[in-house]
Amino acid sequence: MIETILGLTVLNTVLILYMYRVIKNHHFYYGRPEED
């Protein structure tokens, strides 16, 4: 039970960090030309 919960927590953290990086990169790509 504990191992499953820890595994899911780690997976969720990795997914959130990955999605955050992807969104951040997209903002940089789309935001830079518009500002400039």
Per-residue model confidence as pLDDT tens digits over 13-29? 999 999 888 887 776 66
Structure confidence at residue 6 (pLDDT):
95
Band (pLDDT 50/70/90 cuts) for residue 7 is very high
Positive or negative CA dihedral for 21, 25, 26, 32? positive
Per-residue pLDDT tens digits for 26-35: 766 665 555 5
Question: Any idea which residue has 């903002």 for tokens?
Answer: 27
The C-alpha atoms of residue 26 and residue 36 are separated, in whole angstroms, by 16
12, pLDDT greater than 90: yes
CA dihedral 12→16→19→23, nearest 10 degrees, is 170
Positive or negative CA dihedral for 8, 10, 13, 18? negative
Query: Regarding predicted confidence, which is higher, 10 or 19?
Result: 10
State the average pLDDT over residues 2-16. 95
